[in-house]
């Protein structure tokens, strides 16, 4: 199974944001064990690194956090074509549009996010981390 993880899922794990960290970490563990093929978009890395500067003064700590995540996820690259296709989607948040486009490109089964309502194009199913874990365990 292939999933695209929204940036908030990764930040929940790194920053141990409660009560969101546990299900997000469970998803990453599934990916780390090879039971799930998880992706983030390449632009998510820059967003994550930027947000982490508010929490980690030391740049090496931010790099360490990104390296930790990259051990468990794949990167869905963003191309010029992806950007043009994202601009055609009717989203108020361009990052969400770009993530939707990348999820389509990699043929993801799900986009996992805490902000389900922000994803208007439902050509890829959008699901919360908690719902995903429940569904995964039921299979």
Task: Round the CA-based radius of gyration of the chain to a whole number and report it.
Answer: 14
pLDDT at res. 18? 95
Q: Long-range contacts for 51-59 (Cβ within 8 Å, ≥24 apart)?
A: 51/11, 52/14, 52/15, 55/15
Average per-residue pLDDT for the chain: 96
pLDDT at res. 120? 83
Instruction: Give the C-alpha distances (Å, rounded to integers) separating 91 from 32, 40, 55, 72.
Output: 32, 19, 29, 29
Residues 50/62, Cβ–Cβ less than 8 Å: no
Domain around 48? 2-138
Residues 24/16, Cβ–Cβ less than 8 Å: no
pLDDT at res. 78? 97
3: its two tokens:
């999933």
pLDDT at res. 121? 83
Burial class (CB in 10 A: 0-12, 13-18, 19+), 113: buried
Number of domains in the chain: 1
pLDDT at res. 122? 81
pLDDT at res. 15? 97
| Nearest C-alpha neighbor of 114 from the set 28, 2, 6, 17 | 6
Q: Residue 8: which CATH number?
A: 3.40.50.1010
Residues of the chain with pLDDT under 50: none
pLDDT at res. 139? 82
pLDDT at res. 63? 97
The length of the chain in residues reads: 139
| Nearest C-alpha neighbor of 9 from the set 35, 41, 34, 33 | 41
């Amino acid at each position: 199974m292939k999933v695209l993880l929204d940036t908030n899922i990764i930040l929940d794990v790194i920053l141990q944001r409660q009560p969101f960290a546990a299900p997000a970490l469970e998803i990453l563990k599934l990916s780390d064990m090879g039971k799930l093929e998880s992706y983030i978009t390449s632009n998510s890395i820059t967003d994550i690194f930027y947000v982490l500067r508010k929490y980690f003064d030391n740049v090496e700590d931010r790099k360490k956090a990104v390296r930790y995540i990259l051990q468990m996820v794949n990167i869905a690259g963003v191309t010029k074509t992806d950007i043009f296709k994202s601009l055609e989607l009717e989203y108020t948040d361009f990052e969400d549009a770009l993530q939707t486009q990348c999820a389509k490109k990699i043929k993801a089964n799900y986009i996992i996010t805490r902000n389900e309502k922000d994803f208007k194009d439902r050509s890829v199913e959008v699901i919360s981390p908690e719902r995903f874990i429940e569904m995964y365990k039921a299979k």
